[in-house]
A and B are shown apart, each in its own frame.
Chain A
Amino acid sequence: MKKRLFVKGNEAVAMGALEAGCRYYFGYPITPQSDIPEFMSRELPEVGGQFIQAESEIASINMLLGASACGARAMTSSSSPGISLKQEGLSYMAGSELPGLVVNIARSGPGLGGIDASQADYFQAVKSGGHGGYRLIVLAPHSVQEMYDYAMLAFDLSDRYRIPAMILGDSVIGQMKEALIPHPRPQVDLPAKDWAVTGKGGRDHQKIVKSLYLGDGELEKHNWRLYEKYQQMQRDEVRFEAVALEDAELVVTAFGVTARIAKTALRMAREAGMKVGMIRPITLFPFPCQAFADLPETVRKVLCFELSTGQMVEDVRLHTPCDRAVEFYGRPPGAGSLPPPEELFEQISRHYGRKA
């Protein structure tokens, strides 16, 4: 039997990163993610890696930029206010086409807000929180196991596309404990990091990692190339979980912790005889646009659950054919507790009964 561990989501994401070959961690403490730097400070030296507790989130993202520019697998993590500070570096990393992992164990805001779970960082994560109109690879785990698995996936996608990756969790996913079955990193072919700066060595040409393009038409070309990468990811890297769509008349959609609760509510609805299915986006960028565009004919309505006053619902509306209704149910950041499955079940029942 495989080894089963009972660990926190925060530990799982750190373990997954280690297994993925991450050897450099740069970060700054903030609740509810401090288990990640604590774990890394303990474990990285054991495997010949480096842990730095930086002076700020700004410094840590820029340390990540530097390590990544050398071709190293490196990461940082934080929670919402700290992630805001990292946006400068993320924009520069995106512009410099550097990979790297950023974990956001989100809490409620805006501002100092509170430390309870929130999904109100969705816009910031998927629409580019920094300047210049870039995208990140954004993965949304909904279990401790997925925290581990997606850490590896995030690194691989990030290296393949040379785009920073973000794991968007929240304080529940980070703090809850459940079973984790660790496994070796899946073998994947990745392009060589021949762009990395390593010192010229025997090379006759220098390597430059930069985001400044002042030459005639250079920046436009660069931005078209970045755009093409986002398009390619949209074609090849979308991941989502579909539950009971075949005969569904109502489809619920939710990500992360909200998706867990929605799954229980869905089971309750099925037991009550309602034909309800579910789409759980796993990649928030690239967003599973096609899954909504191709909803089965039977579906009359999509019901979007979020721990915010509505952000992902905008993407759901954008892609759901206009002859189906899209409804929203959410709670603002700071609501203090999660909606119990009964609350979502009640929403499902209300919307299921009503015509679109």
Chain B
Amino acid sequence: MTGSLVSVFNHPNSLKDVVTHFCPGCQHGTIHRLVGDALDHFQVQDQTIGVASVGCSVFLYEYFDIDVVEAPHGRAPAVATGVKRARPDRIVFTYQGDGDLAAIGTSEIIHAANRGEAITVVFVNNTTYGMTGGQMAPTTLAGQRTSTSPRGRDVSSDGYPIRMAELIAQLEGVSFSARVAVNSPKNVISAGRVVRQAFEAQVKEGGFGFVEVLSACPTNWGMGALEANDRIGEEMIPYFPLGIFKEAGRRQGDASAQG
């Protein structure tokens, strides 16, 4: 179509055209967009049910133009299980922070993953509890100062930062598990592709897809937006390596899917 303009970058249909409440430099907005793109890509906006968790992402329904259920702190995978079992024909995803998923909700995420629930989990790891004011999370890096680790996380008493994507990948029930970051245009583009794969595991194979996204919380890290962004590359990625840790290709229980 010579002479006409071709649109190559649009606002996702699955997202509302509104201003978010996130702090400047926060990457929840970017991650919302990647999820919105994935829903658009599979054309499932109308058949998707989102499960909102507790944390800075709780207002999922303010930004996504889809049906949403709100879950108690950490319980989103259990709520999503109930939703998916009652509506197996729907696309169901949870969107959870590291406090939500890796602390109070560890039991729910491990067991939903292990059951191979046909849901997608978007896990935002910003190494802190954002909403409650920057306390230590299970993902807080060794030595990282937070409002409850004022001398820096001491692994001898606080334990070690948990690598959830690898842990989830160990479970037989999981179809897809990966870690991405949104700290550079290149990483955002590949994160978009991987988020899509996490949904693809559900849309095409009826499997459990997990994607961990390394994300900045400039407010609670006490950093400017750019500095916070740099921290992802310099401190987080070395401990939380990016990559796809499991890609079963088919729903678990199907032995031929292994390998």
Contact = CB atoms under 8 A, between A and B. Distances in A.
Interface of A: 24, 26, 50, 52, 54-56, 58-60, 62-72, 74, 88-89, 92, 96, 197-202, 206-212
A63 B85 CA distance: 9
A199 B48 contact: yes
A68 B78 CA distance: 12
A209 B65 contact: no
Nearest to B44: A199
Contacts of A69: 69, 79, 82-83
Nearest to A197: B67
A212 B131 CA distance: 14
B231 interface: no
A202 B46 CA distance: 7
Given A70-B83, A197-B67, A199-B46, A62 B107 contact: no
Interface of B: 45-49, 51-52, 58, 61, 64-72, 75, 78-87, 90-91, 107-108, 110-111, 115
Contacts of A197: 49, 67-69, 83
Nearest to B79: A66
A198 B82 contact: no
Nearest to B68: A208
A202 B85 CA distance: 22
A199 B90 contact: yes
B66 A67 contact: no
A62 B67 contact: no
B75 A89 contact: yes
A202 B84 CA distance: 20
Given A54-B78, A206-B66, 5 more contacts: A50-B85, A70-B83, A197-B68, A199-B46, A199-B66
Contact of B82 (A55, A63, A201): A63
A198 B70 contact: no
Given A55-B107, A59-B108, A206-B65, A65 B49 contact: no
B78 A201 contact: no
A212 B70 contact: yes
Nearest to A96: B70
A60 B45 CA distance: 28
B72 A92 contact: yes
B67 A199 contact: yes
Given A72-B86, A198-B90, A199-B49, A63 B68 contact: no
Given A89-B75, A201-B47, A209-B68, A66 B61 contact: no
Contacts of A54: 78, 111
B59 to A, nearest CB: 8
A55 B106 CA distance: 11
Contact of B108 (A24, A26, A55, A202): A55
26 contacts: A24-B85, A55-B108, A55-B111, A59-B75, A59-B81, A59-B111, A60-B78, A62-B79, A66-B71, A67-B82, A67-B83, A70-B82, A72-B86, A74-B82, A88-B75, A96-B70, A197-B67, A198-B67, A199-B66, A199-B90, A200-B45, A206-B68, A207-B67, A208-B61, A210-B52, A210-B61
Contact of A65 (B68, B79, B90): B79
Nearest to B62: A208
A80 to B, nearest CB: 21
B108 A62 contact: yes
B75 A62 contact: yes
B5 to A, nearest CB: 28
